[in-house]
Amino acid sequence: MKVAVFNGSPRGKRSNSHHIVEPLLEGAKEAGAETEEVYFD
């Protein structure tokens, strides 16, 4: 399984969106998924 998150926040890794998505991606990774967070600049 692959999980991708598209983050459009201009603050990137300092954004609240990233802090919300980070545990979701970690959980998916622990379940065996390939994960990626894509940032739009």
How many domains does one find in the chain? Answer: 1
Summarize pLDDT for 3-38 with one digit per residue, the tens. Answer: 999 999 999 999 999 999 999 999 999 999 999 999
Prediction pTM value: 0.81
Q: Is the pLDDT of residue 41 over 90?
A: no
Q: Which domain holds residue 16?
A: 2-39
* Predicted local confidence at residue 3, as pLDDT: 97
Phi, psi torsion values for 33, nearest 5 degrees: -85, 155
Whole-angstrom distance, CA of residue 31 vs CA of residue 41 = 30
Pairing state of beta strands 34-39 and 2-7? Answer: parallel
